[in-house]
Structure 1
Amino acid sequence: MLRSLFAGISGMRVNQTMLDVTGNNIANANTIGYKASNTVFQDTLSQMLTPASGSSTARGGTNPIQIGLGVQVAGVTTNFNQGSAEVTGKATDLMIQGDGMFIVKKNGEDLYTRAGSFTFDETGTLETPTGARVQGYALDASGNPTGGLTDVKLPTPPTGTEMTSYNIGSDGKLHVVYSDNSTADVAQIAMASFNNPAGLEKVGDTSYRASANSGTATVGVPGSGLNGTLLTGSVEMSNVDLASEFTNLILAQRGFQASSRVITTSDQVLEDLVNIKR
């Protein structure tokens, strides 16, 4: 069979994948904290017709003659560039300015996200819209972490008082004010950074889990290490560039169309070969 036939099939397959990735990006153009994906192509093995030869006293060297056998998907990469800010004015909405990710716990598993649309549930626990609990540190009377990661919660007011207000600072500390005008920093939101964020595995709900190639999470607080600071009352929008995505749609469509034309042409050549006998 003609090599061009299989090359055309591979071209249709990878351009269909590009369409799938681009379509998903466009669908998530308004998803908080979403990071766009890009499709990377690479050629497949090439068939060797004539190997290279070295030069000699009688003649010069010759280059190899090879024919490519098509294209394949090298990878689908995630673009972790920061998205724009959307001001909501909600005290529990948080945006990371810089690198790093929030740590949330769902079904006993630590997950990571850039989507900071949080709220307190009926128990005073800070959580995502899907019920994953935001992780952080409990603070002592001096505002220092007391141990490992735990759920970020509103405190029980001291006897004879009630909590009148709260806010979250750029350092992730949950600051509360009581009815007797006393104040306290009761918790601090934790953040994680990775050597290779592109290696994280998407698990839905705009969340990720660590993988073998992401490296282990380096856990800290906002403003420490590679972690950025927090902007309260805002959320990070999707970093999808619609202009680029529509351009990718055109490229994928034309690539698919051209590959299908290769298949049609190859089929006509095969038909001509079959008709030689007539």
Structure 2
Amino acid sequence: MIMILTCNWLFLDTSISPPIILILFSFLFLDNSEMISPLLGRSTKKKNHFHISPNRFQPPHKTPLYKSVIVRVVCGAIIVIYMMSVMSSKTYEVENPFSLPNVEYYDLGESKGTNRGWERGEQVLMCVPLRDAEPHISMFFSHLKKMTYPHGLIDIAFLVSDSKDNTLSRLLEALDDLQGSELAFGEISVIEKDFGQAIGQSFSDRHAIEAQASRRKLMAKARNWLLTNAIKAEYSWVYWRDADVESIPATILEDLMHHDKDVIVPNVWRPLPEWLGGEQPYDLNSWQESETALQL
């Protein structure tokens, strides 16, 4: 993935003609400016007459050594800047097909998440929607600190919406503690926006049949809004995480990547009393039907 930021370079005029460059080279390598007079169009033909001067003999005037050195240094600098500007302009034209100011160009042709993302430095965006989540903040951040995927490769985007408790203030406190430690993550975004969700957060309210249509419609709207505002071209993966998950492997990102799938969902189980079996499949929103079920 390539990102090119257009900018203006302060170079000398790159339209300098080759003859001028040749003249500058001559200043660098010739001892006397008279030796380049043919390049400048000045005649060096000796006059055809004899002259006797009564004055004392004076040797031909030569430019002081320090002036010659200065001239050569200046000419050399001009040539170097010119060559750099030419090379830079050619590279710019190749990498950025638009060549427009204030335009960001991304080549995502070879961009792909792999099953070894932690070794390849692949960046992950973690999206976390929060609503009346104050009781779960401590547990959630405890899980975050234990994650084995390189924390510097994980950016986190929080969406706090329709909360009546102290979710936002508790979140900011936890972030201050986390980002000031050696376990700090990458870029953190906290977005606050309400979507009019009126369904309560109790188990009975959230799972009542009559509440599902309106509740899930607003959930989808909020999640889509969070992703749209947080996504960037440099991310190889997007990881959605609910704050109320009680138990989760610290290697969850590596475990999911190992399957090398574009879209994958972990199997979520709900704890139950022992007399009810101890646990049951909980996340039935993303099941995969069997061939038999599809035929039915």
Normalised by the size of structure 2, how large is the TM-score? Answer: 0.23
Quick check: which one's strand share is greater?
Answer: 1
Quick check: which one's helix share is greater?
Answer: 2
Normalised by the size of structure 1, how large is the TM-score? Answer: 0.24
Larger Rg: 2
